[in-house]
Amino acid sequence: MREQRRKQRVAVIFGSRSVEHEVSVISAVQAMDAMDPRRYEPLPIYITREGRWITGPELRRIDSYKDQQGLLNRCRPVVLRPEPFGNRLFMEEPGPLGTKRTRVTVVDVVFPVVHGTFGEDGTLQGLLELAGVPYVGAGVVGSAVGMDKIVMKAAFQAQDLPVVNYLWFTRKRWQSAADEVAAEIERTLRYPLFVKPANLGSSIGISRANDRAGLFDAIEVAAHYDRRLLVEEAFEGGIEVNCSVLGNDDPQASVCEQPIAWTEILSYEDKYLRGGGGKGKGSGGSAEGMASLTRRIPAPVAPELTAEIQRLAVEAFKAVDCAGLARVDFLVDPVSGRIAVNEINTMPGSLSFYLWEPSGVPFPALVDRLIALALERHRERQQTTYNFDSALLQKFSRGKAQ
């Protein structure tokens, strides 16, 4: 009789201390639902808004998150130690007579589905690197650069990728010399302008300014969300076009989409709270995550322009040393053909499955591919030498003893 293949245990980490917390929960549940139960054993690991790590079967259901305290009571604490000894998770369980005991669970791969700070910004990836565990998506550098819009634009410019004109400054400088900063902005850039926090996603904290009064208001909003602030010229006459990229060293681009904004910019509400139901397990459009967004697929641009957007998406992916999956957002003028790379999302909402399905990659196959890419990248990292025995400590010790 043919021996049955062992299921891969996939630790799916999501939630965290981020303004995109709820989007992360939705994306993670979608990813776990897409995992073939014959091949995978998903292990949900939820990071609460306060930063607690817990696990339990109830985390697979969206409705469970309505009662946070009840969820904490019904789940178990779980810890990933920063030690490269066998991909082990440590779960706290009740023991006899009111005692507690620790159970060790070994995982094959970690699937971090955290959007925003403390997850998509390289912090979680640093822990996974210390633990020596294979994980899906960009590494520490790709995640950190992809999260920071200022460093990201510098990386794009270094690779000769087109970006809009911009200027950045710190919140502290703004608070001490607002008029001076505003004057510098107006000398360097032309209205209308967009003001953004350097490190946030889902369009939170982003505002448009048409004059100095609007500029002051927009900067005050953005300053609530980050210590470094970015001001960009608006891309007049253009539309937003997004393209996803999948792979490691030889990535491929998906079809392109045009997301449709209900407001002046593509807001959080546009992305997640509008649109109808469908495949999502929750109620209303929010259960669909990014899939509920009103969009045109393929984007209404000429084939030659589409090909150029796809080429630039792959180059942007490589420029920040991304891996696994990303979505690259562009500003495009369909008439003139002008293109600007706006940003890269190294862990996009709903894993951008809505861009891969029309590209011939169903959601379950996309999850398969991401896990395979994570294992491939982990094997490649293991070829790197990290230890070098120089006998320096022995020499130093002998020198001190003399």
d(CA 182, CA 6): 61
| Domain spanning 8-137: CATH 3.50.50.60 | no
Q: Indicate if the pLDDT at residue 196 is higher than 70.
A: yes
What burial letters (b/e) apply to 30-69, b meaning 16+ CB within 10 Å?
A: bbbebbeeeebebbbbbbbeeeebbbbebbeebebbeeee
- pLDDT, one tens digit per residue, over 380-389 is 988 887 776 6
Q: Name the token pair of 354.
A: 């809505």
pLDDT confidence tier of residue 397, bands split at 50, 70 and 90: low
Average pLDDT over the chain reads 89
Q: Indicate if the pLDDT at residue 24 is higher than 70.
A: yes
Which residue type, as a one-letter code, is found at position 346? Answer: T
pLDDT confidence tier of residue 399, bands split at 50, 70 and 90: low
Do the domains at 8-137 and 166-233 have one common CATH topology? no
d(CA 132, CA 134): 7
Which residues does residue 119 pair with via DSSP β-bridges, in sequence order? Answer: none
Helix (H, G, I), strand (E, B) or coil at 75: coil
pTM: 0.87
Mean pLDDT of 155-163: 98
Strand locations in 193-272 (E): 193-197, 207-209, 228-233, 239-247, 252-259
Q: Indicate if the pLDDT at residue 284 is higher than 60.
A: no
Mean pLDDT of 185-205: 89
Place of tokens 């891996």: 323
| Whether 346 contacts 143, CB under 8 Å | yes
Mean pLDDT of 104-118: 95
User: CB count, 10 Å around CB of 221?
Assistant: 16
- Quote the pLDDT of residue 100: 80
pLDDT confidence tier of residue 393, bands split at 50, 70 and 90: low
Q: How far is CA 383 from CA 30, 84, 143, 249, 378, in A?
A: 33, 15, 22, 15, 9
- pLDDT, one tens digit per residue, over 2-22 is 445 789 999 999 999 988 899
Strands 295-296 and 324-332: unpaired
Q: Indicate if the pLDDT at residue 202 is higher than 90.
A: no
Query: CATH assignment of 166-233, given 3.40.50.720, 3.40.30.10, 3.40.50.300, 3.30.1490.20?
Result: 3.30.1490.20
Helix (H, G, I), strand (E, B) or coil at 394: helix
User: What percent of the chain lies above the pLDDT cut of 90?
Assistant: 75
Domain boundary assignment for the chain: 8-137, 146-161+237-381, 166-233
Q: Which fold would CATH assign to domain 146-161+237-381?
A: D-amino Acid Aminotransferase; Chain A, domain 1 (3.30.470)
